[in-house]
Amino acid sequence: MSATVISVNVGLPREAAWAGIGRTSIDKQPVRGPVLARRLGLDGDQVSDTKHHGGVDQAVYAFAREDLDAWALELGMEIRDGQFGENLTTSGIDVNEAEVGERWLVGDAVLEVASVRTPCNDFKVWMGRGGYDSRAWVRRFAATGRPGPYLRVLIEGEIRAGDELTVMHRPGHGVTVSTMFRALTTDHSLLPELLRVDGLVADARVRAETYAVGKTRLAAAGEARRNRS
C-alpha cells in the first residue's frame, strides 16, 4: 500500500482558560482542497505558544492514522483526524521509523523530518476535555515512543488530502523519530546517537553534546581513580 496523507488539518489560536498561556491551537480541523505549506507552516494554521512550538524546525506536525487507531483501541473511543493536534494525518508509512533528516515529497512540497513532539499538560487536558481517559497521559504517551515527527518545509508547495507521500531521501544513519524521542525523554543513554544527524536541531544537539561530555568526564575520573589505587 502506498503512503498517503489522508487529512490536512489546521487550527488558529483560541482562548482557553485551561491552557498554560490562556490560548491554544491544538484543535486542528480537516481542510478540503489544497493548503499551501510555507517555510513556517501551513496556511490557516497558527501557533499559540511560540516559546515552545513553531519555527522552521516545527513547521508541520505529522501523526499516523495507524497510531491514532491504536490509541482509539486503548481508550475505547474513536479518534478523529487532527485530534492529536497534527497537521498531516498519514496512512501507509510508519512515521516513527522515519530517519531524522529523511525527506518526503507531498503534493508540491518537500518536507524534512526535523524533530519530535513531546507531550505536555495542555495535551493531557485537551484529551480529557474530549472525554478521553487522560490519567497519566503524558507518561503514557511517552511510554509508547511513537510521538510523530515535526517537519521542516524545504520547498514550499500545495498539499491536499489524498496526496501520495513519497520518501525522496533517507540519510542512512539509523537515528529514527522514535530513537530521538526516547533519547530526549525516557532513555538519555541514546543522546550520543543523535550526534550522527547532520542538521540536528539546536536544542537536541546541545543536550546530546552535554551528555557526551559528561560521560567522557566520568570515564576519565574513573580511570584516574583506578590509576591511583
Average pLDDT over residues 16-30: 96
Average pLDDT over residues 123-147: 97
Bridging pattern class, strands 88-91 and 60-64: parallel
The three cell numbers locating residue 70: 491504536
Report the C-alpha gap between 99 and 117 in whole angstroms: 15
Q: Could you tell me if 184 and 116 are in contact, meaning their C-beta atoms sit under 8 angstroms apart?
A: yes
Average pLDDT, the chain: 94
Q: Cell 501523526 appears where?
A: 63
Q: What are phi and psi of 80, to 5 degrees?
A: -80, 160
Q: What is the CA radius of gyration of the chain?
A: 19
Q: What is the pLDDT of residue 159?
A: 98
221: pLDDT strictly greater than 70: no
Q: What is the pLDDT of residue 216?
A: 67
pLDDT in tens, 201-219: 999 999 999 999 877 666 5
Percent pLDDT > 70 in the chain is 93
pTM of structure: 0.92
Domains of the chain, with CATH numbers? 4-184 (2.40.33.20)
Sign of the CA dihedral 138, 11, 81, 204?
A: negative
pLDDT in tens, 146-199: 999 999 999 999 999 999 999 999 999 999 999 999 999 999 999 999 999 999
Q: What is the pLDDT of residue 52?
A: 85
